[in-house]
Amino acid sequence: MRIGVLTSGGDAPGMNAAVVAVVRRALVRGWSVSAIHEGYAGLMEGRIADIGWNGVSHVQQLGGTVLGTARSPEFRTSAGRKEAVFHLVQARISRLVVVGGDGSLTGANALRAEWGAHIEALLKERRITRDAANTHPRLGLTGLVGSIDNDLWGTDRTIGCDTALHRIVDAVDTLTSTARSHQRSFVVEVMGRRAGFLALAASVCTGADHVLIPERPADDWEGEVCAALWRGRHLGRRKSIVLLAEGACDRQGKRIEAEALRAMIERELQIETRTTVLGHVQRGGTPSAYDRVQSTALGVAAVDRLVGEARGAEPTVMTTAGPSVVPRLLAECVRKTAEIATALDEGRFQAAVNARGPEFMELLAAHDTHGRPAGSQAVQRRLLLAHVGAPAPGMNAAIHAFVRTVSVAGHVPVLAHEGLRGLLEGRLAEVDVDGIQSVGATLLGTNRWRPRTTGEVAQLRKALQTHDIDGVVLVGGFGALEAAAAMRVPCAVVPATISNNVPGTEISVGADTAVNAICEAIDRLKQSAVGSRHRVFFVEVMGRRCGWLARAAGIGGGAELVYTDEEPPTLDRLRQDVAGLNAAMDAGRTVGIVLVADGVPDPYRAERLADLFRQESGGRFDTRVCVLGHLQQGGRPSPADRMLAVRLVQKAVADVLSGCRPCVVGLASGAVKTERVEHALAASDRDARRPTFPRLLASVTDPPGPPSA
């Protein structure tokens, strides 16, 4: 059987990773694959060609789509879709994967629904044979949502959304420095059509003063903007940032223009204001690690769904719920997406907000909270934040969210310098949290100390009593769970570690930034090998005995091989891997990447593996070792890590104020949830400091060669 794959509509970063996954997963499952070039326009013209394993080598790091894309007005007609059916039958394609937005998926659904009628028409016209009609009585269809707008109902993220958010956040971070220097305001217009996710998420990530989105127009948007900017200036901020979604309107449906917004700010507040329209820079360039990894998982799931489904099954779209892939009925997703547009047209804005999902509502609540002045309570409680363990990107976003959430609730935020050791030594102080979300590591510092003996537990509890601490939020890794277990006051743990080894959550704050750093390093290593060729890089990455980081980066970076403590090298496996890599080099491969987690057994360290492979290569390639080290922990936190920190801290503060027993706040299928610390520790391997359940991604990386190698 044969699977066809096409990309349609606007291009989105991550489409290439999805195509790689579809092609290679299909080949592994024993199916042939045809690539349809230039989207539906190419399908109308019959631009279909077989594609093999090497046809998609080293493309997952490229922006856009290597298959090309084009919108086709003809495909929107029944006659046009009949022509598409003809070309699919001619190419012997009975299963189709479409990567595109809601319009592309709607068109694919129409094609599938009309398939039988078009087959009969083509038979009457004698353009196809009866045998061909009998061989292809219906079309199997699965969709992947490729759109930077993140506007399809039922999925946490669409392919390309995360990369676009990277572009926006990087731009706003950069503009913030010049805005502070000149005490200016900036209006930044971002894409999204009638979906406000990009603007809202970027606002939370960067600490923008105000955001205007289609889902929540104001009766007096001018007054709201002025009030937000005036409040920020009154607090001493030297800059003002307003994010404008391109589809933002007033309550009468009149679009808010960036230039009109800029002029209004200058007129009403006498603040020098500039406008920046980011435009198509948001959808171009190298895809983020998330868009590579998750697109790979989506592509693999799409093929497995097509291969395993019964004939006549309803078409599906593969959606995300956190890192999980969830198949949903395509017709339902398209229908409910259209209902959101109808709600906006009819002024039912709260219905539109609710339909966007829980993350959207949590981010909206965070934006509102962070923009309000401190509240007051008759009885104020003192809540402490402290770090436990190594630094992780996104910790400063957690600090900012903690201070603002606690203050707005009318309580007192207390910050411990250098973790719980700082608490014991009385090093508690305020930190100016304005604009710290973009700063790497943590301004508070951190410490690995946690109570291990009865005496140290008593010491910790006495310090909490001395400083009148009523509740604690610990931000850190596995050690934070162990420290929380010793608390007598309400305590919640926000997992923050690049290793992603904390039980009780699918993903930890900092892990996404680390995967991005590794993928960027792999991209550069591949480029460095262009001149030398026939070189294999052995890259040692962090994670110790939890292999999630190596596995995720292996998928995102297109590594040929990945070795972790959970899946360590063995002599038998090494023989197979060496043979596969040698065969790949004989078949034309010129560069290879092998990722080695720093927690593999000593006999299989990266240096020793590099020597072994070079010796057994028979002169086909040489090897180099690259130890990334603490580069993986540094740098500006990614948007995903900033948003995750905000979402988890909001829940952690609420849990502590409600008097919770020690708990860990994490994600389950993309939703924020709470689990008792004792239960999380029971579901872990405490010696290896990792969850007992596997957290490795089930998908295709880039094996040394095709299935026949």
- Which amino acids are annotated catalytic? 149
Question: What does the alpha-carbon distance between residue 324 and residue 457 come to, in Å, rounded to a whole number?
Answer: 38
What share of residues in the chain are helix, strand, coil (percent, to 5)?
45, 20, 35
Q: Collect all residues with Cβ–Cβ distance below 8 Å to 52 and sequence separation of at least 6.
A: 23, 27, 33, 706
Place of tokens 């979402």: 647
The CA angle 612-613-617, to the nearest 5 degrees, is 125
Cα of first residue to Cα of last residue in the chain, in angstroms, is 21
Q: Is the torsion defined by CA of 336, 340, 342, 348 positive or negative?
A: positive
Residue 299 structure tokens: 């592509």
Residue 533 structure tokens: 């060729």
Question: Residue 97 in 3-state DSSP?
Answer: strand
| Other Cβ atoms closer than 10 A to 591 | 21
Question: What does the alpha-carbon distance between residue 582 and residue 300 come to, in Å, rounded to a whole number?
Answer: 26
Angle between helices 289-308 and 511-532 (to 10 degrees): 90
| 693 strand-pairing partners | none
Q: For residues 441 and 633, is the Cβ–Cβ distance under 8 A?
A: yes
| Other Cβ atoms closer than 10 A to 577 | 21
Closest C-alpha to 22, from 11, 38, 13, 33: 33
Question: What does the alpha-carbon distance between residue 203 and residue 401 come to, in Å, rounded to a whole number?
Answer: 13
SS3 per-residue string spanning 425-441: CCCECCCCCCCHHHCCC
Which pairs with CB-CB distance under 8 Å and at least 24 residues apart come from 256-260? Answer: 256/212, 256/221, 258/187, 258/189
Q: Which helix (H) or strand (E) holds 43?
A: helix 39-45
Q: For residues 286 and 523, is the Cβ–Cβ distance under 8 A?
A: yes
Question: What does the alpha-carbon distance between residue 185 and residue 652 come to, in Å, rounded to a whole number?
Answer: 33
What type of residue is 627? V
SS3 per-residue string spanning 627-688: ECHHHHCCCCCCHHHHHHHHHHHHHHHHHHHCCCCCEEEEEECCEEEEEEHHHHHHCEECCC
